[in-house]
Amino acid sequence: MNTKYFLYARKSTEDEERQVMSIEAQLAELAEFAKRENLNIGDVLIEKQSAKIPGRPIFNEMLDKIERGEADGILAWHADRLARNSVDGGRIIYLLDTGKLASLKFPTLWFENTPQGKFMLNIVFGQSKYYVDSLSENTKRGLRQKVRRGEYPSVAPTGYINDVRTKTVVQDRKKSKILKQAFELYAKGNATLGDVSDFLAQRGILSRGGKRIHKGKKAKNEPKVFCGLFSCGECGKMITAEVQKGHTYYRCTKKGKTKCTQPYIREEELDKQLSALIQKVSLPQDWAMELVQMAEEDGKEAAQSCTAFVQEAQEKTKSINVQIQRLMDVYLEQDIEREEYRDRKAKFMSEKKTLEEKIITLEQEQNDWLEPFRKWINTAQNAPKIARDEALFPKKALAKEIFGSNLQLAEKVACVGAPESSKNPENSPQNQWAALRAALQSVGKIPKSQILVPTAGFEPAAHRL
Ligand SMILES: [Zn+2]
């Protein structure tokens, strides 16, 4: 009886088999072999899947056909094209045992359907499986070693790239800058994760699939706007949020046996109270005008004294230059020794340098404070507007600036005050906002004329010249 063969070629796209012949090459070699050996070829079957695990569709179909008697031989480039796992290898050998498969032909391998031949085939299948297993073990070992060295053992995250040459993960110089900005944007508290996603998309940073980088499916876990702003008035723990029936509620984070007894408060109510607190710290119009005027006068005065100092320093520098010149003359006349000349010159040079540095710092300081002070006056005047506005993120950012970490929530009432445990004047922020609050509290207690002058304690930190 003339054996009918299936011609089976397989190439997987996986790395491990990169060195294996292409399908075209396999087909050409096998056709030539079949002609030379005078083999009767039925179907030509091509598979593009790894043989590491059972379940290759074309391979399974081929064996089913052989079981039904449609052919009784297989021609393949090598036994490892047929099986690299114990199930498929076992099935081939069982078909040989039961006589359904009469012959296997490989150009690279001798096989005869005898007890010795089957024994050899078993060894070849075992070898293929061993190759796959040890490759996977070697890869895992390599990854573990990377982890031990503190290296990232996977595909580089956004902002990094896999350096194929050194097999390490390195920074992507262009993208990492943008990502850093994105983190800073979010950290400021004015942006939602959606905003960050827009920010990245606008700058061409997309996921590996070319899509927008999402905030992830766990939208429930996105921090709510007022998280991290209040502490609990009862136990001092931070106030967190949770969503219930479509509303955001804020509550103490304390859990467990000694549960805090504080009730929940709805976001809308907390927003109202926070707005009220901010409005209390707004800078009155007349104060603002008076302060700007005072600052400008101070600025002028400072500029004048600065100019005077700079002139004086320039005169001094000139005279030092003259002295250096004279010293040089004396030295050239050989009236003093080289060492003495060097010492005295070094002294003059250092004096000159000190003067120059003083001029630079003074000019910088002069430019340093007036602008931020104006900006602050502007923000303080705008506080009521931000408080009335619906946007919650700017409100949070402003509240953080004004109150620092001194906001508390107790019995559904938001208030300002450091927790009992840290009632220490050093813990409350010593900035212009604290000064403004103190000043506003003294309205009606002391004459207005004394509130805005330094002796009343209202002296913004930037206002120091
Ligand atoms: Zn609490």
Rounded to whole angstroms, the Cα distance separating 195 from 217 reads 16
d(CA 440, ligand 1 centre) in Å: 30
Rounded to whole angstroms, the Cα distance separating 241 from 265 reads 9
Residue position matching structure tokens 């099935």:
91
417-439 confidence digits (pLDDT tens) = 755 444 455 455 667 888 888 78
Rounded to whole angstroms, the Cα distance separating 108 from 111 reads 10
**Of the ranges 30-39, 203-212, 384-393, 455-464, the best mean pLDDT one:** 30-39
- Domain assignments of the chain as residue spans, ordered by start: 4-145, 160-220, 285-456
Q: What is the mean pLDDT of the chain?
A: 84
82-91, 225-234, 338-347, 364-373: segment of lowest average pLDDT: 364-373
d(CA 414, ligand 1 centre) in Å: 13
d(CA 43, ligand 1 centre) in Å: 76
DSSP codes of every residue in 123-154? HHHHHHHHHHHHHHHHHHHHHHHHHHTT---S
437-455 confidence digits (pLDDT tens) = 878 877 777 766 666 664 4
54-86 confidence digits (pLDDT tens) = 889 999 999 999 999 999 999 999 998 998 888
Pairing label, strands 4-10, 265-266: unpaired
**Strand order from edge to edge, sheet including 4-10:** 40-47, 4-10, 73-75, 103-105
Rounded to whole angstroms, the Cα distance separating 33 from 35 reads 5
Of residues 134 and 166, the one with the higher pLDDT is: 134
- State the fold for domain 4-145: Rossmann fold (3.40.50)
d(CA 410, ligand 1 centre) in Å: 8
Model pLDDT, residue 464: 34
pLDDT band per the 50, 70, 90 thresholds, residue 334: confident
Model pLDDT, residue 37: 92
pLDDT band per the 50, 70, 90 thresholds, residue 274: very high
**Among candidate residues 236, 284, 234, the one with its CA nearest the CA of residue 451:** 284
d(CA 15, ligand 1 centre) in Å: 57
d(CA 233, ligand 1 centre) in Å: 7
Of residues 21 and 6, the one with the higher pLDDT is: 6
Q: Is the pLDDT of residue 132 over 60?
A: yes
Q: Is the pLDDT of residue 123 over 60?
A: yes
d(CA 260, ligand 1 centre) in Å: 5
d(CA 219, ligand 1 centre) in Å: 26
pLDDT band per the 50, 70, 90 thresholds, residue 211: confident
Model pLDDT, residue 422: 47
Average pLDDT over residues 130-140: 87
Residue position matching structure tokens 């359907």:
113
d(CA 255, ligand 1 centre) in Å: 9
d(CA 131, ligand 1 centre) in Å: 61
d(CA 236, ligand 1 centre) in Å: 6
d(CA 232, ligand 1 centre) in Å: 5
d(CA 222, ligand 1 centre) in Å: 22
d(CA 403, ligand 1 centre) in Å: 20
Taking the CA of residue 370 as centre, how many other CA atoms within 13 Å lie in the half-sphere pointing to its CB? 17
